[in-house]
């Protein structure tokens, strides 16, 4: 007996209670609150009702309000003329199961059947396939997220007990008035024929709602359908992210200026690069010319100008285009970097050109070689910084990080002194061969990582 009780407890927890808790508390796979400046979404469950739904539609029409009706399939089948009117007057119709049964008390296949039956009824009457779903009492089970993934599950921010007649129109109005603000999703009931409801309760709801619509009009609010609220929410969130991103870029540019001053970076004329000559502090590297680069040897450390990098990222359509443009910029800049190496007073001590890159394919065609950063705090911090960099410089950067994050590994890139000097005269015989320069280049991205190995002490 005890085993059966424990089995029942675990079943209810995993199948019913836990999914409902997660969806309600964390908004997992559900929409319940909008982000809006002046819009409120009012929704109605359990209808249509032959007495109260037409009265409700008359009221909404007077105030120009557009709402969402989550209908019970059996009721919709019984009153197709009301469903047709809801649709014709510009409201949105969603699914509320074929019968008003809880998803906790039905098998997953039964829930799916209820949804499909209701969807078919609505589509047959209106010609439009519904895309919104509200389970009765807002209760979902473990399988709802997977089996009805093609529908947007809609919950609410305000429920007012309007299915009970004893609440009364005045108290109901006061409850709704406290929640009257943009982004709210109200749930009301235009039918009192379900279990636990009072049949004449919608009369109080309609009386209270008229006062709410009047208050909303006075405040300049709009009453919109859920699908419009979802659209506005996505737009407003995108604007907020855009504003936040602009702030990040501004802070990033200030850091760029400070970094240049602190580490005494110098511009390389006519290129988007800055440089400094410093001691190398990484592991020993076997260069292409057969020599070894050791800790303490001097390198010409180059950095892409972050402001130009951001402007470049905003002007291209994809990270692949960004990478190709950067490779081309590097090809154009190498002659200037080579001349800097010859002209700088410390240039004679430099053993190699050195930098950090996030995506490195394509650099070999220009004479670069790459190797992994040593495992440690610097490697981790560099990866974090470069991923942040990609998310800022390109509109789809965050998406690309999610898709290819495991491949975005920062590496050290080197070019031996002799190979760099071979670029010093773009038209001379010392320039690398045309075949080497025109070798196909795949997506590559070289970026200023904001800190070098010797600064961190690796």
Give the residue numbers marked as catalytic: 45, 189
Q: Which residues pair with 6 in a beta bridge?
A: none
Quote the longest CA-to-CA distance of the chain: 96
Residues 91, 97, 101, 107: is their CA dihedral positive or negative? negative
Q: How far apart are CA 61 and CA 56, in angstroms?
A: 9
């Amino acid at each position: 007996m005890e085993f059966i009780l424990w089995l029942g407890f675990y079943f209810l927890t995993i199948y019913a209670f836990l999914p409902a808790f997660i969806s309600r508390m964390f908004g997992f796979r559900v929409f319940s609150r909008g982000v809006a400046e002046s819009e409120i979404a009012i929704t109605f469950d359990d209808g249509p009702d032959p007495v109260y739904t037409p009265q409700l539609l008359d009221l909404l029409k007077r105030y120009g309000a557009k709402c969402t009706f989550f209908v019970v399939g059996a009721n919709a089948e019984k009153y197709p003329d009301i469903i047709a009117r809801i649709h014709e007057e510009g409201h949105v119709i969603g699914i509320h199961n074929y019968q008003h049964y809880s998803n906790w008390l039905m098998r997953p296949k039964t829930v799916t059947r209820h949804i499909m039956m209701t969807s078919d009824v609505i589509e047959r009457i209106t010609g439009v396939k519904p895309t919104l779903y509200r389970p009765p009492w807002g209760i979902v089970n473990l399988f709802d997220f997977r089996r009805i993934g093609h529908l947007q599950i809609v919950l609410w921010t305000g429920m007012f007990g309007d299915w009970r007649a004893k609440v009364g129109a005045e108290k109901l109005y006061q409850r709704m008035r406290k929640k009257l603000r943009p982004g709210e999703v109200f749930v009301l009931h235009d039918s009192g024929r379900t279990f636990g409801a009072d049949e004449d309760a919608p009369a109080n709801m309609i009386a209270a709602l008229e006062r709410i619509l009047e208050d909303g009009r006075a405040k300049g609010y709009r009453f919109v359908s859920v699908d419009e609220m979802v659209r506005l929410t996505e737009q407003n969130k995108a604007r907020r992210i855009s504003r936040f991103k602009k702030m990040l870029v501004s802070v990033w540019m200030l850091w760029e200026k400070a970094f240049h001053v602190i580490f005494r970076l110098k511009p390389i004329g006519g290129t988007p690069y800055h440089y400094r000559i410093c001691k190398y502090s990484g592991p020993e590297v076997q260069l292409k010319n057969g020599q070894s680069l050791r800790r303490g040897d001097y390198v010409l450390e180059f950095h892409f100008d972050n402001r130009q990098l951001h402007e470049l990222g905003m002007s291209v359509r994809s990270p692949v285009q960004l990478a190709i443009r950067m490779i081309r910029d590097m090809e154009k800049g190498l002659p200037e970097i080579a001349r800097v190496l010859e002209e700088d007073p410390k240039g004679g001590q430099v053993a190699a050109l050195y930098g950090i890159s996030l995506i490195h394919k394509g650099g070999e065609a220009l004479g670069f070689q790459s190797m992994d950063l040593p495992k440690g705090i610097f490697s981790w911090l560099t990866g974090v910084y470069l991923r942040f960099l990609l998310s800022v410089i390109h509109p789809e950067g965050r998406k690309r990080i999610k898709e290819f994050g495991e491949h975005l590994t920062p590496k050290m890139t080197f070019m031996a002194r002799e190979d760099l000097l071979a670029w010093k005269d773009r038209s001379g015989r010392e320039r690398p061969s045309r075949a080497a320069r025109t070798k196909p280049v795949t997506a590559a991205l070289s970026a200023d990582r904001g800190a070098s190995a010797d600064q961190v002490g690796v």
